[in-house]
Amino acid sequence: MREVSYFAPTEVGEAVKLLDQHGEKAAVLAGGTDLVAQLNYYEIKPAALVYLGELGLDYVREEDGKLVIGAGTTIAHLLNNDLIAQKFGVLAEAAATHASPAVRTSATIGGNLGTASPAGDMIPSLMIMDADVVLASSKGQRTVPIQEFFTGPGETVRAPEELILEIHVPLLEGKAVFKKLGRRKAQVCSIVSTAVRLEMDGGVCKDARIVLGSMAPTPLRCVKAEAMVKGKAIDAALVAECAAQAVAESTPIDDQRATAWYRAKAGTALVDRALAQAAGI
Amino acid sequence: MKQILSFTLNGSPVDVIATPTETLLDVLREKLGVTGPKRGCDDGDCGTCTVLLDGEPIRSCLTLALTVQGKEVLTVEGLSENGDLHPLQKAFHEHGAFQCGFCTPGMLMSAKALLDHNPNPSRNEIREYMSGNLCRCGSYEEIIEAIQAVAAGEYAPSGGKE
């Protein structure tokens, strides 16, 4: 029988030393809602499991105009958190669409980043706020802007000896909206999702962030679509053009959930609605 | 790397040997003979493995056993007290809220967690909270009605139906 080691460190310093020791042969375990399914189906065979649940990383704080979210914060806790509700409501909206109540009890925001699915529900909201991801290793900490964190489906810049420690979210202005489309209303991996944030001054957009999920190898910032609306008066015609541009920057694929054709059509409608809602028109 | 796993199961302390890749579902069913929680998909989608961990619903198929060290687990076996069915069990029975019964343990655990958090849920709140439990026989309507009946106090221990 294959022997697997198990560790439940109680301090980050201990955890990163374990990752140094075991490197790529270790799997980091937070909520387990992605990892344990892979173990159950023998898709991964780590030599060691490092459980992060006792590191005390489940917290949400406000510091210097930013929200500091511990990577171990469960999706259920984000849904019930007053600071999130008051200052980062779009994240709670996204959290409510994530899997199901029982999965949300265990799943963590750090895990959603670490799994790095292009469909990750928590990611678009973080991207429209220009969030930073803080990684810890035995060498110290480093901060990676979330735009640079994902390198491909399931791939990030996190090295095997690093763990995701915190997410820092600047409390940027503007109205943020998240929308998710799935094959049904509950417990779905998105066919297409979007988060947008528009900073409006009267009817004019001062700044924009537009992100598409499930439409590219990673969650996607649609920078040309953002440039299209920045500094302009927002009306229905511009919103329609912008939504089409956002989808034009994406590379949807055919998969078991939907075809690229459908994703492009539905995605255009989704972004259109999100922009209109954010612009208040 | 086997370890002794000690936790509270349905109100009683239990010790069992578990390996790191065994899930709580594996340990409950295979080692402790607690077969209420079912293995429907082993990847967190169907909900038949749902149990309560420190009062919150979890997927026991996605929870590594060693991570429940020192915690409290409640399964469907722990719902009845002193030989009496739990109000939810009585309501499911009387409302015909199951056919094959395979989803029922998970449904009951999610329903208990729902009413513990929200004793008076709207129909939509019931549907949302129960959205992670699938029923292939299609007893959804009866399940919702049973939960509504319990919330309305029709199965209160001190009165109502016997």
pLDDT tens, position by position, A46-94: 999 999 999 999 999 999 999 999 999 999 999 999 999 999 999 999 9
Same domain, B22 and B74: yes
Q: What is the mean pLDDT of chain A?
A: 97
Instruction: Check whether residue A211 and residue A239 sit in a common domain.
Output: yes
Residue A160 in tokens: 């095997």
Same domain as B93, residue B51: no
- Of residues A39, A46, A7, the one with CA closest to residue A23: A46
Percent of chain A at pLDDT > 70 equals 100
* C-alpha span between B49 and B25 (Å, rounded): 7
Beta-strand ranges (E) seen in chain A are 5-7, 26-29, 48-51, 60-63, 66-70, 132-137, 140-145, 150-152, 155-156, 163-170, 175-181, 192-201, 204-213, 220-221
B57 and B107 assigned to the same domain: no
Contacts of residue A103, defined as CB under 8 A and 6 or more positions apart, other chains included, come to A33, A75, B44, B59, B62, B132
B45: chain A residues, CB-CB within 8 Å: 187
* Cα of A98 to nearest chain B Cα, Å: 11
Are A72 and A157 contained in the same domain?
yes
Q: Are B8 and B74 contained in the same domain? A: yes
CA distance B7 to B64: 13
Q: How many domains does chain B have?
A: 2
- B102/B143 same-domain check: yes
A272 and A187 housed in the same domain: yes
Listed in sequence order, the residues at least 6 apart from A177 whose beta carbon sits closer than 8 Å to its beta carbon are: A90, A195, A196, A197, A274, A277, A278
pLDDT for residue B159: 46
Whether residue B60 is contained in a domain is answered as yes
Cβ distance B62 to A99 less than 8 Å, yes or no, reads no
A39–chain B Cβ distance below 8 A for any pair: yes
Q: Say whether both A195 and A139 belong to one domain.
A: no
CB B79 within 8 A of CB B73: no
How many angstroms away from the CA of B64 is the closest CA of chain A?
7
Residue A78 to chain B, least CA–CA distance (Å) = 15
- CA torsion sign for A240, A245, A248, A252 is negative
Amino acid at A227: A
- The residue out of A170, A186, A207 marking a domain boundary is A170
Exposed/middle/buried for residue B20 (C-beta within 10 Å: 0-12, 13-18, 19+): buried
Best interface-test mutation with B: which of A36, A45, A98 has the largest number of B CBs within 10 A? Answer: A36
- Both B70 and B91 in one domain: the answer is no
Among B31, B55, B78, where does a domain finish? B78
User: CB of A49 within 8 Å of any CB in chain B?
Assistant: yes
CB contact under 8 A, A102 and B57: yes
Q: Which of B1, B19, B43 sits opposite A40 (nearest CB)?
A: B43
Is the CA virtual torsion A210, A71, A154, A149 positive or negative?
positive
Distance from the B47 Cα atom to the nearest Cα atom in chain A, whole angstroms = 8
Token couple for A234: 């927002």
In a shared domain, residues B63 and B38: yes
Its domain, for residue A18, covers 5-51
Residue of B nearest to A76 (CA): B56
CB A102 within 8 A of CB B58: yes
Tell me the backbone φ, ψ of residue A12, rounded to 5 degrees: -60, -40
Does B70 share its domain with B117?
Answer: no
Kindly list the residues from chain B whose CB atom is less than 8 angstroms away from the CB atom of residue A32. 62-64, 67
Shared domain for A205 and A261, answered yes or no, is yes
Same domain, A189 and A139: no
What confidence tens digit (pLDDT) does each residue in A94-140 have? 999 999 999 999 999 999 999 999 999 999 999 999 999 999 999 99
Residue A1 is predicted with a pLDDT of: 56
Closest CA to A248 of A230, A262, A268, A266: A268
Looking at the structure, do residues B31 and B54 belong to the same domain, yes or no?
Answer: yes
Nearest CA in chain B to A3: B1
Please indicate, yes or no, whether residues A10 and A75 belong to a single structural domain of this protein: no
Chain-chain contact of A29 with B64 (C-beta, under 8 angstroms): yes
Pairing of strands B3-9, B12-18: antiparallel
The pTM score is 0.96
Look up the CATH number of the domain holding residue B91. 1.10.150.120
Residues A237-251 pLDDT 10s: 999 999 999 999 999
Would you state the pLDDT for residue B133? 98
Same structural domain, B64 and B38: yes
In this prediction, residues A268-277 reach a mean pLDDT of: 98
Are B20 and B65 members of one domain?
Answer: yes
From first to last of the 162 residues of chain B, give the pLDDT tens digit: 899 999 999 999 999 999 999 999 999 999 999 999 999 999 999 999 999 999 999 999 999 999 999 999 999 999 998 899 999 999 999 999 999 999 999 999 999 999 999 999 999 999 999 999 999 999 999 999 999 999 999 998 654 444
Beta-carbon separation of A4 and B43 below 8 A: no
Q: For residues A20 and A199, what is the distance between their CA atoms, to the nearest angstrom?
A: 43
Burial class (CB in 10 A: 0-12, 13-18, 19+), A273: middle
Residue (of A164, A63, A61, A160) closest to A111 by Cα position: A164
Q: Is A154 on the interface with B (CB under 8 A)?
A: no
B158 falls within a domain: no
CATH number of the CATH domain containing B11? 3.10.20.30
**Is the residue at B70 inside a domain?**
yes
Same domain, A164 and A196: no
**Could you tell me if A131 and A204 lie in one domain?**
no
What local confidence, expressed as pLDDT, does residue A2 receive?
73
Q: Which domain holds residue B108?
A: 87-151
Q: How many domains, in total, are found in chain A?
A: 3
From A37, which residue of chain B is nearest by alpha-carbon distance? B43
A137 and A239 together in one domain: no
How do the residues of chain B divide into helix, strand and coil, expressed in percent and rounded to 5? 35, 20, 45
- Asked if residue B159 belongs to a domain, the reply is no
| Chain B residues touching residue A6 (CB < 8 angstroms) | 1, 3, 20, 64, 66
d(CA A121, CA A97) in angstroms, rounded, equals 8
Q: Choose among B43, B47, B63: nearest Cβ to A106.
A: B63
Residue B109 and residue B47 share a domain: no
